[in-house]
Amino acid sequence: MLPLAFFGSGHSPNPLFLLLLAMAVEAVFGDRAILFSVLPHPKAVIGRLIRVGAAKLDRPRRSLADRRVRGGMMVAVMVAGAALAGVAVTFASHAVPHLWLFEAMVVAAFLGQRRVYRAVGEIGRALGKGQIDVARRGLATLDAGAENVRLEPAPVAGAAVRGAGAGFATGVLAPVVWYALTGLPGLLAYQAAAGLDAGLGRSGPKSRAFGRAAVVFFGWFSAPTTCLAGFVVAAAAAFVPAARPARALRMAAAARRSWPEAAMVGALGLAADDRFATGARPGAPQVRQALSIYAVACLMAVGVVAGMLWLTLASGRS
């Protein structure tokens, strides 16, 4: 018989078990696993709400000050609304038998382990075959600034390496940490903030005033997990042949922001300008090495969650 600690409360299992289940489902099937191949994806729902809100509130005829205030109001309403939606789903999953499976699928929808792994792997293979156009298009999946990267292999490889670090922070560690610490309300609030930053903060000069609050808020919201991700990447480098964990740690510690990107670059022996000390540039081998570091970092995240669950179950038996 399972110990009582396995059950969070009511009909729902321990949240850490749900998190492990979500990580396993997403790793195998992707973030559109099963349920959201039919229903609207939660990220798409958030994006639609942001577009509707921005269309109503961000009018060019309004003053910059008014647009800043309205942008701040939209951030507050969206983040609070997402958290309340998380509370509602959590309450329902505790009250209704088997509805916890829906909660697990929602968590899986916000993870990006498989997406980032496949994207970085495809870029590495394309670079190895000399298919630069294919590799460059793969950067769009990573949100790695493909529009700013020239078509040459080295800049594409450098962007893929940094994208692997950034993808671990936003697609793996942040969702895992926020759900483990605050449950679905915290995870949905984080995802709403991330969507606002992507939808409003990068919408161009005309909407800069309206999106200012989204950029500032997400920068504050994401800083703890982004910083932590840099040090996890550095630790993961210790288990990858030829990687340089000490250098990764130094570069992560010295970074003002973009900690995981700095750690990934440092782990491969690259400088901040994506060059080796000899002046050589990265290529397919460095992308494959970054992929190995990313995979180890994901396994470390799984191991920590599994360890926390084991401790919870062990304390419940004592």
Q: What is the mean pLDDT of residues 140-160?
A: 74
Write down the pLDDT at residue 178: 97
Write down the pLDDT at residue 209: 84
Q: How many CB atoms lie within 10 A of CB 84?
A: 13
| Residue 283: partners with Cβ closer than 8 Å, 6 or more residues away | 127, 153, 154, 157
Write down the pLDDT at residue 63: 83
> 3-state DSSP call for residue 143?
coil
From the DSSP assignment, how many helices (H) and strands (E) are in the chain?
12, 2
Q: What is the pLDDT of residues 244-293, one digit of tens each?
A: 999 999 999 888 788 999 999 999 988 877 777 666 788 899 999 999 99
Say what the pTM is.
0.90
DSSP 207: G
Q: What is the mean pLDDT of the chain?
A: 88
Identify any residues that bridge with 7 across adjacent strands, giving them in sequence order.
13
Between 95 and 31, whose confidence is greater?
A: 95
Tokens describing residue 100: 């916890």
Q: CA 168 to CA 231: how far, in whole Å?
A: 11
pLDDT band at 6 (very low <50, low <70, confident <90, very high): very low
Tokens describing residue 296: 């180890």
Write down the pLDDT at residue 182: 95
Identify any residues that bridge with 13 across adjacent strands, giving them in sequence order.
7
- Exposure string for 86-124, b = 16+ CB within 10 A, e = fewer: beebbebbbeeeebbbebbbbbbbbbbbbbbbebbbbbb
What proportion of the chain, given as a percentage, has pLDDT over 70? 89
Q: What is the mean pLDDT of residues 46-59?
A: 91
Q: CA 242 to CA 314: how far, in whole Å?
A: 38
**Nearest in space to 115 (alpha carbons), one of 106, 125, 127, 123:** 123
Res. 138: pLDDT tops 80: yes
